[in-house]
Every structure is written in structure tokens, then in C-alpha cells.
Amino acid sequence: MNPTRLVLLIGAALALAACSEAPQVTHYEAGTYSGKPDTRPWESAAYGGDKAKWESDMRARARKQTEIGRMPPG
């Protein structure tokens, strides 16, 4: 068998194999969500559902992200 012919046959086989890919389209149903359910940040193990503690920690974090919050009092 001619090497050129062998290369062409292999190339044709690969090209045909690439055409057989199944479409990867998601089918949506109106009004439903089929993904992973989201949890609220304060429902993590660190806060145990205490929303007030989570909000307090977020305010403290925001205060420390400015230069004024990092300055010592005085």
C-alpha cells in the first residue's frame, strides 16, 4: 500500500470520526431549575445559620479593607 494513500485513509477516518460528535445542548424547562441548589453564606458550618453574626463579620471585614480602619485610634 502506498504511504500517501495510507495517510489519506487515516485522515479520512479521523475526519469522519470528528463528525460523529453528539450535540451538547441543554434542554430547559420553563419555570424549573435543575442545577445545584445555592446555600446562603450564613448557612455554612462557620456560622451555623446565624445571619446576624455573618453580617457583623462582613461589616468588620469591610472596615478593615480601608486605610482608615487600619489606623490605630488616637
pTM above 0.75, yes or no: no
pLDDT at 51 over 90: yes
Q: Is 46 among the domain residues?
A: yes
Read off the pLDDT band of 71 (50, 70, 90): confident
* Rounded Cα gap, residues 52 and 40, in angstroms: 13
- To the nearest whole number, what is the mean pLDDT of the chain? 83
pLDDT for position 63: 82
Q: How many domains, the chain?
A: 1
* Rounded Cα gap, residues 11 and 7, in angstroms: 6
Q: Is 44 among the domain residues?
A: yes
pLDDT for position 69: 62
pLDDT at 55 over 80: yes
* Rounded Cα gap, residues 13 and 10, in angstroms: 5
Residue percentage of the chain with pLDDT more than 70: 93
Q: Is 52 among the domain residues?
A: yes
Q: Is 4 among the domain residues?
A: no
Q: Is 47 among the domain residues?
A: yes
- Contact between 43 and 49 under an 8 Å Cβ cutoff? The reply is yes
Q: Is 70 among the domain residues?
A: yes
For the chain, how long is the longest CA-to-CA vector?
90
Q: Is 48 among the domain residues?
A: yes
Question: Domain range spanning residue 51?
Answer: 40-74
